[in-house]
Amino acid sequence: MSSGPAGTPGKAAGSPLPAGRKRDSVGLPAHPIIKDIGEIHSRLLDHRPVIQGEIRYFIKEFEEKRGLREVRVLENLNTMICETNDQTLPKCEQVMHGDLNEVLKRLQAANHRILTLQQREQEERKLQTDTLMADEKQRQAHWEVFMKDQHNKRAEVDEEHRKAMERIKEQYAEMEKDLAKYSSF
């Protein structure tokens, strides 16, 4: 039971009867009337059962529509995958094989040209090396001939020098004799 203002016992809040009494204005007990009012109140003002029914209906519709939408999406995906497997993939493979074969032929041709150029370059290097070696051998042979020739010329010059020195010695020896002859006079 509720009390009036400032905690004093008296009328219940919202009730026309004093606390502890339940009667209507005619004097009949208020219990069946309250029960009827409660039913009317729950039918008019309490919308929970209706709202719960609407919520259940909404959830059911949402799940069904969502399920159908997801089924449609999955069917579309399946269709796209089948089309890709049946049409796009074979086309891509054909194009790829054609292009790869062409690229492979070009690479083989380029590889062949490079090998040919490398062989030519190796042949030219070998030819240059052989030419340089032959020139080196020829220079070495010329140098040996030159050195022998120089040795022989040196030997000749040395011999001529020795002979000239002997002649000069003889000439001076004769001159000394002549001088000694003339000085003794």
11-31 pLDDT per residue, tens: 444 445 445 545 445 555 678
Question: What is the average pLDDT value for the chain, to the nearest integer?
Answer: 82
CA 68 to chain centroid, in Å, comes to 43
Which pLDDT does position 55 carry in this prediction?
A: 83
Better-predicted residue by pLDDT, 12 or 85? 85
Which pLDDT does position 29 carry in this prediction?
A: 65
| Interatomic CA distance for residues 145 and 169, integer angstroms | 35
How would you classify residue 7: left for phi > 0, otherwise alpha for psi between -120 and 50, otherwise beta?
Answer: left
Which pLDDT does position 27 carry in this prediction?
A: 56
Residues 84-100, mean pLDDT to the nearest whole number: 87
Residue 11, strand partner residues: 18
